[in-house]
Amino acid sequence: EIQENLKTNSNFVLHGDVGIRNYKYINGKLALIDFEKARLGPAYQDFIKLFYQDFSLNQKLINSFLKGYSTENSDYQLSNLTKQYLVFTTAIGILRL
């Protein structure tokens, strides 16, 4: 199930390290910087650290952010199992650092 879900929903360009620290005001506009870890994947994965660390699992902030982010493919959904898998693999990656 996870493999199929990821296969179907991994066509987004990911930043790779989304966090408040990588948003800067440049010429009066908010911009995302530092794209050294960019790759293709599911959009949800790009924001796991942001959701869990910077947004402290505030569902209103998360929903608002995803609504703005998903304007290109607003019907994309990941199963809860896939989301849990991505959270787990992201946590493992953070622990390796």
Strand partners, 40: 13
Global pTM? 0.70
Tokens representing 21?
A: 């620290």
Q: CA–CA separation, 60 vs 56, rounded Å?
A: 11
| Among 20, 18, 15, CA closest to 35 | 15
- With a pLDDT cut of 90, the percent of the chain lying above it is 34
List pLDDT tens digits, range 64-89. 877 776 665 555 678 989 989 999 98
Q: Would you say 14 and 41 are in contact if contact means Cβ atoms under 8 Å apart?
A: yes
Instruction: State mean pLDDT over 9-35.
Output: 91
- The pLDDT score that the predictor gives to residue 61 is 84
